[in-house]
Amino acid sequence: MDSINDTIVALCSGGVKAAISVIRVSGNDAFLIVDKIFTNKKNHEHQHVYYGHIKDNDEIIDEVMVTYYYSPKSFTAEDMVEISCHGNLLIVKKIIGLLIKNGARLAKNGEFSKRAFLFNRIDLVNAEAINDLINANSEQSLKLALSGLNGITSDYVYQLSESLLDVIAQIEVNIDYPEYDDVEQLRYDSVLPSINDFLDKLDKVIADTKKGQTIKNGIDTVIIGKPNVGKSSLLNAMLKEDKAIVTDIEGTTRDIVEGKIDFYGLTLNLIDTAGIRKSNDLIEQIGISKSLKSLENASLVLLVLDGSKPLSDEDNDLLNKTKNYQRIIIVNKSDQKLCFKIDNAVYISTINNDLKQLEERIKSMFNDLIYDNTPLLFNARQEGLLNKAKEHLLEAKNQALNGQVIDLISIDLKEAYTCILEILGKNNSFDLLDSIFSKFCLGK
């Protein structure tokens, strides 16, 4: 059975052919295991780089540079070694095989980061930010991940927990030391303003967390319209590549086509849908059904209309279907004679790549998502714990309004406090930690 006391090894520079690859070894026996196959066996100094060869008995495997890190001043807070070898994956595989043969085991996904967390070098917010930093696909999500990695977000959560702890401490003093004359005697109505103030603060944090998740995950943007209005041309123009098939034949797109773009530092998750119309074609019907389904989770709807033709019943039906969504009405083919005008619509020509009006509209709609270095939480786990804390606070408020004894109110406040601390990884179960770190790449 795998143990935290095992010495682990993995490639941490990515499994692609490169000039240099880096193999990481961490654990109590890291130095001993590496020295069994490394020719430069001096008394190694912390963070010094040593030149030598990796050997399998008398056979030279590679010429390498090796860096030693002494506990606790390493990424994992354990003794750790990083081997920089040539980036041929056959060489990498041989070196890792030799390290396993001499006592290490292959690390699981995220196991280095998990050890850093378990040995208190980082908290869970820092750990999640590491994974987000690796996977960030826009300038804004990169900045958000860096704030989590640098401890800004953790400090924010800690301060939030401390402000709730002040309320709890007031109550506990009254419960534990009621005989002291200089301790203010609290009644249920005395703590109600503090609970309300904290609830207001928590509501803002939860709203900001939704913003953080949108910055991190991107804006789900659905392109919708009847056949042959230019939806696929719009997708291709925004992606600057021929991702979707474009023809003069109606109904060419019969399934969902997706792509991502970095749009002024934000990620747009673009979804081109099948043209919506009445059809007897079974395959096209399935595509149309998927198109309508994709609207349900859309953060932004781009409704495309053909400006060179009068509005049809199908156009008007889509205008009605999407009216309650955050949408932009796009009139395409503005290079031709327009047959209608719609208030607040944007006019584009995909054939001329004239998307300026559309880009400006999207930018103005999501201007509040530009990250300004304000601390933000950024994932569903964190939001779930905040909502759970809010439930306990609402229960505490309800008890206070009903005149319950202060001891009972204190129980729910403590539960809310525990939820907030769990954001940082306090009192998390190993099953939950396994689930979180399994989403990391192997060398992290």
* Parallel/antiparallel/unpaired status of strands 257-263 and 80-87: unpaired
Angstrom distance (rounded) from CA 355 to CA 359: 6
Residue burial 107-141, b: 16+ Cβ < 10 Å; e: rest: bbbbbbbbbbbeeebbbbbbbbbbbbbeebebebb
Angle among Cα 110, 96, 32 to the nearest 5 degrees reads 95
Give the per-residue pLDDT at 152. Answer: 92
CA distance 277 to 318: 10
Measuring CA to CA, which residue among 274, 298, 268, 302 is closest to residue 287? 274
Question: CB of 132 within 8 A of CB of 95?
Answer: no
User: Per-residue pLDDT averaged across 38-44, rounded?
Assistant: 86
pLDDT of residue 185: 46
Residue 347 pairs with which residues in a beta bridge?
331
| Mean pLDDT along residues 203-232 | 89
Distances (CA, A) of 434 to 33, 115, 366: 26, 11, 35
3-state secondary structure of 396: helix
For the record, the structure tokens of 147 come out as: 């704030």
pLDDT band at 11 (very low <50, low <70, confident <90, very high): very high
User: What integer pLDDT is reported at residue 183 of this predicted model?
Assistant: 39
In which band, very low, low, confident or very high, does the pLDDT at 188 lie, cut at 50, 70 and 90?
low
**In the structure encoding, which two tokens stand for residue 178, read together?**
């009621």
Q: Mean pLDDT over all residues of the chain? A: 85
Q: Tokens 């905040």 identify what position?
A: 386
The pLDDT tens digits of the residues spanning 303-352 come to 999 999 999 988 898 899 889 999 999 999 988 989 988 999 999 998 88
Max CA pair span of the chain: 87
Peptide bond into 193 cis (omega under 30): no
Residue pair 72/119 in contact (Cβ under 8 Å)? The answer is yes
pLDDT at 292: 63
- pLDDT tens track for 60-73: 999 999 999 999 99
Q: How many CB atoms lie within 10 A of CB 241?
A: 11
CA dist., res. 315 & res. 331, Å (int): 11
Q: How confident is the model at residue 416 (pLDDT cuts 50, 70, 90)?
A: very high
36 near 57, Cβ under 8 Å?
no
Give residue 260's pLDDT: 86
Edge-to-edge strand ranges of the sheet holding 8-11: 49-56, 59-69, 80-87, 18-26, 8-11, 105-106
